[in-house]
Amino acid sequence: MNDIIHKWVDKISDELVDIRRYLHQNPELSYQEFNTSQFVKNKLTEYGIPFQSEIAKTGVLGIIEGDHTGGVVALRADMDALPIDEKNEHSFVSNQDNVMHACGHDAHTSMLLGAGYILKQMTSEIHGTVLLVFQPAEEISPVGGAKPMLDDGIFQDYYPDVIYGQHVWPQLSEGQIGIRDKEMMGASDKFKVTIKGKGGHASMPHLSSDPIVTAGHLIVSLQTIVSRALDPLEASVITIGKIEGGTAPNIISDSVCIEGSVRTYDIKIKKRLKERFFEITNHVAEMFNNEVDIDYLDGYPATINTPKWARLARKSAQSLFGEESTPSLQPSLAAEDFSRFLEVIPGAFIWLGTEIENKDEQKSLHDARFKINENALPKGAALLTKIAIDTLEEIKQ
């Protein structure tokens, strides 16, 4: 079977690069993926794969029926880009101002289309049904696109026994596969705290209640949650990413806005952290005679793999690329909307190594100079194909 997969991958490998570059050059933001969605539908039609569309506005579901009866496995790719102005200089840079595929979703869509093409040629090996999930809006936490697709009934005709997602990962060498049996990525919450005080003249602070001073104490105090209120063996982090306040150096502002994110794995840690966040924020504001408004948004849950299907994916990768292709690794506190699928369907999330040849020039995800090693694209398509077939084989036993 591996030889057959490699044969079809070789046939489509150049097209995978072309698809990825077209999508990279024509990025679209969350829930604006109209051209991308149409492109996907055109390709599915070209490959002879029936589909359902306009799921959660721009989502698409490809349906591949095997020649044999059996279970249902879903493969998911996200399609949206980020509001980033690309700073690369290659021939296929984004033609949209302040819109860029800086997280690899162009590659994800390309590889899933490639896997769909290969699977369509191999229906004699498929015991059941493979669903190709092209998801919008992964980048707009806490709404995302996974839950709206579920709410829109994406699986009302075919409900998956297992679901898989794949993400390019620049910290892994090209072609290496990152798979953990349980925790892969973290939960991500967002907050916005508005501190309201009494403004005044910088020379007369006693006549005001300075919210900037309050904000300084609050920022330091919030860091004690992780260091003093939580289990040090459980990963968590609070990051203040934005502060706005004040208009001039000789004016005491009457308000300050602080925004940031909270990252965790364990649901108990997440709950405790949130409780302490509210307690500390309210107490610090009260201590300095300020009022405070807290807007706390629960975002994507942690991405936790199902051990059985993570182990199967690892075996599939090792079968295709060798045992050395799946190194041991640590999870990431970055968040992923695929977690919403894993809350209701067993499955696994996988990282595909896409480190470029010149490691010194490798930029991280969400960077304006982010690049991937396109040699990984055929491997990603092959892996999705192999995992789908192997999973259906396991389900039928």
Could you tell me the pTM of the whole model?
Answer: 0.95
147 phi/psi in degrees, rounded to 5? -65, -45
Compute the average pLDDT of residues 373-395.
98
Give the pLDDT confidence score for residue 370 in this predicted structure.
98
Q: Would the CATH topology of 2-184+302-396 be identical to that of 187-297?
A: no
Contact 301, 186 (CB under 8 A): no
Q: Running DSSP on this structure, what letter comes out for residue 363?
A: P
How confident is the model over 233-268, as pLDDT tens digits?
Answer: 999 999 999 999 999 999 999 999 999 999 999 999
Give the pLDDT confidence score for residue 120 in this predicted structure.
98
Could you tell me how far CA 230 lies from the centroid of its own chain? 26
The angle subtended at Cα 167 by Cα 301 and Cα 397, nearest 5°, is 85
Q: How many CA atoms lie within 13 A of 337 on its CB side?
A: 24
Contact 331, 183 (CB under 8 A): yes
**One CATH from 3.30.1490.20, 3.40.630.30, 3.30.565.10, 3.30.70.360 for 187-297:** 3.30.70.360
How confident is the model over 313-348, as pLDDT tens digits?
Answer: 999 999 999 999 999 999 999 999 999 999 999 999
Reference 4, options 373, 397, 389, 369; nearest CA is 389
Give the pLDDT confidence score for residue 81 in this predicted structure.
98
Compute the average pLDDT of residues 201-220.
97
Beta bridge partners of 244: 257
Give the pLDDT confidence score for residue 397 in this predicted structure.
79
Compute the average pLDDT of residues 181-205.
97
H helix intervals, 95-141: 105-121
Q: Coil, strand or helix: which one is 190?
A: strand
Altogether, the residues listed in the chain come to a count of 397
CATH number of 2-184+302-396: 3.40.630.10
Grade residue 96 by pLDDT with cuts at 50, 70 and 90.
very high
Domain boundaries, the chain: 2-184+302-396, 187-297
Structure tokens at 116: 């769909």
Cα dihedral sign, 44-46-49-52: positive
How confident is the model over 157-176, as pLDDT tens digits?
Answer: 999 999 999 999 999 999 89
Give the pLDDT confidence score for residue 64 in this predicted structure.
98
- Measured distance CA(383)–CA(381) in Å, rounded: 5
Largest pairwise CA distance in the chain: 82
DSSP 284-324: HHHHTT-EEEEEEE--PPPEE--HHHHHHHHHHHHHHH-GG
Percentage of residues in the chain with pLDDT exceeding 70? 100
